[in-house]
Amino acid sequence: MHSDILIIGNGIAALSLVYHLTELGIDKDIIVLSEEPTTRTNSYLAQGGIAIEFGNATNKNKHIADTISCGIINNQTSTTTILSEAENSIRSIINSGLSFEYDHTGNLLKRREGGHSERRILYHSDTSGKHISDFLIQKVNANKRVKVIQNSFCFKLLREGNTCIGAEVYNTLENTVETIYAAKTILATGGAGALYSNTSNSSQSIGSGIALAKEIGAVITNMEFIQFHPTAFVRKEKTILISEALRGEGAYIKDRNGNRLDGVELLTRDRLSRILYDGMQNGEEYYLDCTDIPEEVLTKFDYVRNSLASFGIDISTTPIPIKPVAHYMCGGITTDVQGKTNIENLYAIGETADTGLHGANRLASNSLTEAITVPYLLTLDLLKSDWKESETSNINHYSVDICRNYTIRIDSLRTMMWEKCGIVRTNSDLEYLRNYIATEMGKLDENSSISYAKLKYKTMLETAMIIVDSSINRSENVGTFWKK
């Protein structure tokens, strides 16, 4: 199979790219490849919104300053470019019909979240990700040159010289392998939160793009910086992320005795997560108290409210039990602001990319800003691009064996990542975990056959090893990274 553009992933970054390609007149064949529907992606579940400043240079500079204050080691040039260009990319989508919340005079309403000095978050109730995704899906479906392929797991990128020419894909329904050649390959595979037992992420968020890119020589950076969201309701059957926008509207955090943790509500996620982690290590329990928030404000948080109601919690009267969970991968495949990697014709966008915007700690709601803006800048670059048809390489042949079950081993890895490579780490724990992962990799290599479960576990091990190695190599505590 051949395509001009192969997009691996179907979250907001992938959908935004198709939108911008269409709007700016790039008339090419596009394949959007994914394991599961967009409704299972992390960005679809995003509650907060889009951090953006329109027009006013002073306010834009404040947004840039807040981002760098939060991330500390950000690439300042990339941060300035992305947050400055965000207005153009997001206005384009708004002008195409995407709506947010407005006041009675027609002005956009904005929320404030942790680390922000101003209200600058555009939102739609507490389901901004769903709202944006549903709008973009309509645009994608309207482009007749887009082919959406689901139930497909990309397990290998193809490289000739220093050029990516496509990918090998495992069909999870038919247990077959297909090769897709493409002039341009874009990784939009999301983060790696599902490597952890406690996470807000979907099950496919295993950092697959990281493993794919590293295998063919792409540069990977800052993988030790995994952001933990401080406020989630965690039960065996479901984890419900509690948007920090609630704290921006007046919710506060209490211990089990009802004592308020003063001054922590709008701390950045890394600082608040460590505060809660330290207390929990000493047997403390924490709650998010929304009972002082006016009813007319709580009605803007229907997703959280209804989700918790299914567990018997009325947030207007009852504090919510909370725990930190793995949430966002701040590092990733090293790219410029246009998503370019060091491999020709290979790009990365969204959470799988490290553009330098997030540094050591992502500022709340900057993820959707990046997921819409970098695809816009990539599209501008592709307007000037050379569109040579990709060359065909030798086709690999694989033996498929679907009899082996990896569920227990996957669960063990996720538990160990949480316990030994989580909010606070030690070198001894990391070395133990590294040896465990290496042993598991060796066991997989004993059998050359493949299956969806095996490929997924192999990818999890490879990405986990990158995170562990990066954690061992870092000596300075900064942002989300904390090692004793």
What are the residue numbers of the active site? Answer: 269
- Measured distance CA(292)–CA(240) in Å, rounded: 21
Nearest in space to 362 (alpha carbons), one of 438, 286, 269, 435 = 269
CA distances from 12 to 84, 95, 190, 386, 455 (A): 20, 18, 10, 26, 25
203 token code pair: 């099950």
DSSP state of 43: G
Let me know: does 137 contact 34? Beta carbons within 8 Å.
no
Size (the chain), residues: 484
Cα 266 off chain centre by: 22
Cβ neighbours of 294 (radius 10 Å): 10
Side chain identity at 337, as an amino acid letter? V
Burial of 285 (0-12, 13-18, 19+ CB in 10 A): middle
- Other beta carbons within 10 angstroms of residue 141's beta carbon come to 11
∠ Cα 393 181 335 (to 5°): 105
Q: Are 123 and 406 in contact (CB under 8 A)?
A: no
- 145 with 29: CB under 8 angstroms? yes
Task: Say how far residue 313 (Cα) sits from the centre of its chain.
Answer: 28
Measured from the Cβ of residue 94, the count of other Cβ atoms closer than 10 Å reads: 15
Strand-strand pairing, 176-187 and 346-348: parallel
DSSP collapsed to 3 states, 115-126:
CCCCCCEECCCC
Distance between CA atoms of 261 and 226, rounded to whole angstroms?
Answer: 24
